[in-house]
Chains A and B, each alone.
Chain A
Amino acid sequence: MTLRDLVLIRLGVAVNLVIGQIVAALLLPVYLDSVGTILVAALVGPRAAIVAGLLSQVLNAVLSGNFSWLPFAVVQVVIALYAAAAARLGAFRRLATAVPAGVGMGFVAASCSAPISYFLFGGVTAGGVTLVTTVLRALGAPLGVAVASASYSTDLLDKAIACGLVCLVLRSLPRTLAARFPALAR
């Protein structure tokens, strides 16, 4: 791994952890805690993005004290791999392709996070997702259906916005800066 990769990983982790501050100020019903991972995947590839995703998950747990989020680190790995593949296919070149790619990413991420949430934590992970699960359960949905519905509904929106945002970042990069990332030229 090069020094540039290391610096970009650090940047990706910081973006993952800090963007929540902006989301909280805007009172948006999403997390956007994988924008940095997707950005690193698009700029330098899957290896650095996986490290950024895993480190974000660990530091998020360390800083918040909620270590029960650690098993969800596998979701960050999946996001990194998907984002790198999407970037290779040029999905982040236009908003019209980035948002559908984000919906696909949300589907894949929810397919990983819902079983972890259901089998390891009984659907309770102390996030906004759990409130949706509780409401659905109170309305009569079986627990598995409630957990899966809550995960899919939140992840589809979250990742679609995250991918749209990464597309905007990449399109706003000045040419001199973009030229330093060979992966963008592909």
Chain B
Amino acid sequence: MIGYVPGTSPLHRAHPYTTLALAGAVLLGAFALTRPLEVWLLVAAAAAFAAAGGVLRSSARTALLLSLPIWALLFVLHGLLGADPRTTVGPLSLSLPGMARALVLGGRITAIVLGFLTALATTSPHRLVEAMTARGVPFGRTFLLASTLTVLPRMRERAAQILEAQQCRGLRLGGSVLARLRALGPLALPLVLGALAEVDEQVLALDARGAASAARRTALDPPPDSRAQRLVRVALLVLVVAAYGWKFWKMRG
């Protein structure tokens, strides 16, 4: 499952910026680490992060489902088709450097997916918007984040309606690539033109709600932040910088 899972874990209660900083540190850290052991320690850290949020089972299952096709492709591309030296495992001839690279790349992707799924599962969108408002983030940014997610289901529904309507009018979706390409216009144009025609109406509605005002807004229920959490965020930043410093120092050496 992808999305927010209500709960009372420490991560659910944490300031949204702290949870996002943890996921961001996993993302940046994943590209700083280059050895299989280092990367899989990061995967373990991401799993601990999920456990702290009480979402280990659901996040790990989704991360596994999303990572499996990538692992399979990595195994073929690097394990089977990688460079020499090789080793034989049963009927398979595997590339040793290829398998090491596949382990690093697979672990990297797994850690990133697991870290962000956990952040997504433990960060309430409402609390995030409140936190951003309390920090004085301009209305435009919070509007984009919150309202785009609400407009998507409506656009998807409209796309499905256009698809059905055009099929009723005799539009064929099959045939050669060229025929299918020709069908793209009658399907995509009404969707985009319809949405463009509504732009002015939406601008007026936003203007009427005072969205153009530059005044700082008051958050009704801002999530509490603490000195300890601010320290955690700074420590994560230091860790990421240190990881990159270590990486480049090794490269020079």
Contact with B along A118-136 (1 / 0, CB 8 A): 0011111110001101100
How many angstroms between the C-alpha atoms of A68 and B108 in the bound complex? Answer: 9
CB distance from A85 to the nearest CB of B (A): 22
- By the criterion CB–CB under 8 Å, are B187 and A67 in contact? no
B37 interface residue per 8 A CB criterion: no
Contact with B along A71-95 (1 / 0, CB 8 A): 1000000000000000000000000
How many angstroms between the C-alpha atoms of A70 and B119 in the bound complex? Answer: 15
CB distance from B195 to the nearest CB of A (A): 5
- By the criterion CB–CB under 8 Å, are B105 and A124 in contact? yes
Within 8 A of A (CB), among B10-58: 27, 31
When distances are taken between beta carbons in the complex, the residues of chain B under 8 Å from A173 are 193, 196
How many angstroms between the C-alpha atoms of A17 and B193 in the bound complex? Answer: 16
**What DSSP secondary structure best describes chain A's contact surface?**
helix
Decide yes or no: A26 and B144 within 8 Å by CB, A68-B113, A122-B78, A134-B77 being known contacts.
Answer: no
How many angstroms between the C-alpha atoms of A67 and B159 in the bound complex? Answer: 25
When distances are taken between beta carbons in the complex, the residues of chain A under 8 Å from B211 are 3, 6
Q: How many residue pairs between the two chains, A and B, have CB atoms under 8 Å in the bound complex?
A: 169
Count how many chain B residues have C-beta atoms less than 8 Å from C-beta atoms of the other chain.
63
- Among A15, A28, A66, A143, contact of B195 (Cβ-Cβ < 8 Å): A15
Count how many chain A residues have C-beta atoms less than 8 Å from C-beta atoms of the other chain.
60
Decide yes or no: A177 and B196 within 8 Å by CB, A10-B144, A28-B184, A124-B105 being known contacts.
Answer: yes
- By the criterion CB–CB under 8 Å, are A21 and B102 in contact? no
How many angstroms between the C-alpha atoms of A120 and B76 in the bound complex? Answer: 17
How many angstroms between the C-alpha atoms of A10 and B200 in the bound complex? Answer: 13
CB distance from A72 to the nearest CB of B (A): 13
- By the criterion CB–CB under 8 Å, are A165 and B184 in contact? yes
Contact with B along A156-180 (1 / 0, CB 8 A): 0000010001001100110001001
B251 interface residue per 8 A CB criterion: no
When distances are taken between beta carbons in the complex, the residues of chain A under 8 Å from B113 are 65-68
Residue ID in chain A nearest B62 by CB atoms: A65
Residue ID in chain A nearest B23 by CB atoms: A67
- By the criterion CB–CB under 8 Å, are A172 and B193 in contact? yes
Decide yes or no: A124 and B185 within 8 Å by CB, A14-B151, A18-B155, A18-B156 being known contacts.
Answer: no
Decide yes or no: A8 and B199 within 8 Å by CB, A26-B180, A70-B27 being known contacts.
Answer: yes
How many angstroms between the C-alpha atoms of A152 and B202 in the bound complex? Answer: 39
B235 interface residue per 8 A CB criterion: no
How many angstroms between the C-alpha atoms of A173 and B159 in the bound complex? Answer: 19
Q: Which of B65-73, B129-137, B222-230, B237-245 contacts A (4 or more CB under 8 A)?
A: B65-73
- By the criterion CB–CB under 8 Å, are B177 and A124 in contact? no
- Leading 7 A-B pairs by shortest Cβ distance: A67-B116, A14-B155, A18-B155, A26-B180, A122-B105, A65-B2, A68-B109
